[in-house]
Structure 1
Amino acid sequence: MTPLVSVIMAAYNAEKHISASIESVINQTYANFELLVINDGSSDRTQSIVEQFCKRDSRIKLINNDKNLFVIKSRNIGIENAKGKYLAILDADDLALPNRLEKQVEFLENNPNVFLIGSSAHIIDENNTICNNFIALTDYHELKRNILKNNLFYHSSILFRNEKVFYREKMIYSEDYDLILRLFSEGKKIVNLPDILISYRQTNHSLSKTKNRLVQWLFINKAREFYKERLSIGKDSYDAFNPQSFINIEDIHCPINKKDLLYAMKICFYRKDANQLKFLVKKYRKYYPISLDYLLYSLSSLNKNTFNLICKIYSKL
């Protein structure tokens, strides 16, 4: 029987939590699914753990990447191999509550005009203790009005129609937000259910905690720029985008677009990082002529009182 839902789980060195994540899928009240686990070149016991589950439940399929291709490519491999009418995302350290698939499938089956559905979420720690709750915004028009302020969807909660919509692989650290913004700009109706249907694990060692926050913000802002371009002219400049300029922003020899560099300088005030601002001012001077923007940022980086004042202003915005 062809599964109605394909659950896609990208996993890299996930031995600590992946068993609980897989169990949360097996224990769903909705049974007509396949679980595709994409083992992204893990060096720990992830592969052997998933193999044991595959022996136990034929609905679980393991796809092994020969090397670490990162989460975006792994999710796209999952989408390529998915047989279901619907695709559900669940990260290898998060948990699906028992009625997640049943609730979301029922909603999409009864609302053919909706393309994607998310949900509210528990925020849990390493020990599965609930630390907080994310109460999702549910109204489509309100979501669309506010989507440029924040990503209003917890990605492990989304379930959407399998129309072979893929993640854009250059949108590192913001591929989930970029996907949501692309769907909005294409006129797709996407909403959240108010129900708490997943537990999102937030730890000190999670990707969102360990990656360079400045680099993450640069990619998030680029996703917003692309969204505005699509609304304005019907397409964006993704094909010409070089993500290495963001990844290597702390390399003086790696050039970066002037607009993006100025944005990175502004982010230094949110991060209260005067040393990084000094470096970015130096980088600006290497590639671009002196301008008013340069003089303002240069003065701020050299004057501690001015820097602290601007940081205080930005913290209240």
Structure 2
Amino acid sequence: MQQLPLVSIITTYYNSVQLGDFVRSSMSCLLNQTYANIEFICVNDGSTDSTLEDLEYFSKQDPRIKIYTKENQKYAQYSKAFGQDKASGDFIFLFDHDDLIDRDTIEKCLDTFSQFPELDIVTAMIKTESTLGKLKYISNLDQYIENTSQFSFRKISGKEAIKNTVGKYDTHIRGLYRKEIFKSHSFRFTEPLLNADEIVERMIFENARFIGSCDAVYTHFIHPDSSAKLPSVKKIDIVRTDVLLRNLFKEKKMYEDRKSIFELTAYRNFVNGLKAYHFFFKNLTLEELSFQKKRLLQSYSELDKKNIVSQFSGIAKLYNSILLSNFFLISFYYKYKK
């Protein structure tokens, strides 16, 4: 009898109990998957609350749970990379501790692989909503739908998937990867960044022949008090990410078709970076200030200012034209603008 493929589900935990009792909520949907041949790779990222104790409680109930504790390195990319290294399954699923999936998600993803063997990634539909239950959107790979009953199978190439993320994500993927695809690029990346995973996942997409969808549901929650939403000097990392992504997209000849989308987004991120720089100015050392200022200067110098200004009209066009004319002018403006 042929053995069923092993699936690795990687979940990283950092103070998950303190943030919302996420160990219990995540385990309620993971341990009750209708597909059984799963190893649960649980990375405790240096939690200081009772996260580890909660994980150990569940591991006593289910031997499929494997707990790894590592020192917190301040960036989620390192805990994801740690789990990436430990995963031994034929297929790998990356799961956020504060999200939920249907009980049959893994089973449906694997069934889709069986039906379409050319696929390297299968994603569930993604339902994104606030913690108050307000629906933001439902996506079916590269298509927005009004409700999950509107599901229809979608398939695109890995290169199409990257192209549809230039500037903003018009491709949404949270699903099951073939092991060799998921491990083709390390989440450690080459430098620590708040959103380094956005760069890594795009490079992973490129190695996929095709990406398909299934009718399982992955519910992603937007938390207003998450580290990604709270004010932080790390917001300047997003500015740095845009610099790297622009080069990546140009290198892969994916930039020109969506240049206007990319540049307007990069401009908004640059402005938010400036605001963060001035907000935390008094809390930074001279070395940190110099480092972050260099990043902002590089971002400013690489913005396609002509393209950005062309997307405005009337007073807004004049206003942004003046602001973009000089780095020190726009920096001074956002230093004092309330």
With structure 1 as the length reference, what TM-score do the two structures score?
0.71
SS of the equivalent of 2:252 reads helix
Displacement after TM superposition at 1:298 (Å): 4.3
SS of the equivalent of 1:140 reads strand
Whether 1:207 and 2:227 are equivalent positions in the alignment is: yes
Paired residues of 1:151 and 1:177 also in contact (CA < 8 A): no
Displacement after TM superposition at 1:68 (Å): 4.4
Whether 1:20 and 2:25 are equivalent positions in the alignment is: yes
Aligned partner of 1:146 in structure 2 is 164
Paired residues of 1:119 and 1:196 also in contact (CA < 8 A): yes
User: Pick from 122, 132, 139: which aligns with 2:136?
Assistant: 132
CA 1:302/1:68 → structure 2, altered by over 3 Å: closer, same or farther? closer
Code of the residue aligned with 1:158 in structure 2: it is: G
Code of the residue aligned with 1:140 in structure 2: it is: I
Alignment partners' CA distance in 2, 1:223 and 1:302: 26
Code of the residue aligned with 2:299 in structure 1: it is: D
Displacement after TM superposition at 1:49 (Å): 0.5
- The correspondence of residues 1-317 of structure 1 with structure 2, limited to 5 A, is 4-15=6-17, 16-68=21-73, 70-126=75-131, 129=133, 131-136=135-140, 137=142, 138-140=154-156, 143-152=161-170, 154=172, 157-163=174-180, 164-165=183-184, 166-169=186-189, 170=191, 172-186=193-207, 188-193=208-213, 195-210=215-230, 212=232, 214-228=235-249, 230-231=251-252, 251-254=288-291, 256=294, 258-262=297-301, 295-299=325-329
CA 1:25/1:211 → structure 2, altered by over 3 Å: closer, same or farther? farther
SS of the equivalent of 1:112 reads coil
Deviation readout 1:167-193 (Å, 9 max, x if unpaired): 14325222332123213444x235352
Deviation readout 1:18-74 (Å, 9 max, x if unpaired): 211111111111111111100000001100111010000111111111444632111
SS of the equivalent of 1:208 reads coil
CA 1:67/1:176 → structure 2, altered by over 3 Å: closer, same or farther? closer
Alignment partners' CA distance in 2, 1:193 and 1:229: 28
SS of the equivalent of 2:204 reads helix
Aligned partner of 1:281 in structure 2 is none
Paired residues of 1:2 and 1:84 also in contact (CA < 8 A): no
CA 1:171/1:190 → structure 2, altered by over 3 Å: closer, same or farther? farther
Alignment partners' CA distance in 2, 1:36 and 1:221: 31
Paired residues of 2:11 and 2:97 also in contact (CA < 8 A): yes
CA 1:253/1:299 → structure 2, altered by over 3 Å: closer, same or farther? closer
CA 1:222/1:168 → structure 2, altered by over 3 Å: closer, same or farther? farther
SS of the equivalent of 2:229 reads helix
Across the aligned residues of Structure 1 and Structure 2, the Cα RMSD in angstroms comes to 3.6
Aligned partner of 1:311 in structure 2 is none
Displacement after TM superposition at 1:218 (Å): 1.3
Code of the residue aligned with 1:51 in structure 2: it is: E
Instruction: Mark the runs of 5 or more structure 1 residues left unpaired by the alignment.
Output: 233-245, 270-291, 309-317
With structure 2 as the length reference, what TM-score do the two structures score?
0.67
Code of the residue aligned with 1:253 in structure 2: it is: S
Displacement after TM superposition at 1:263 (Å): 5.4
Code of the residue aligned with 2:15 in structure 1: it is: N
Alignment partners' CA distance in 2, 1:185 and 1:81: 23
Paired residues of 1:7 and 1:90 also in contact (CA < 8 A): yes
Paired residues of 2:119 and 2:212 also in contact (CA < 8 A): no
CA 1:73/1:301 → structure 2, altered by over 3 Å: closer, same or farther? closer
SS of the equivalent of 2:167 reads coil
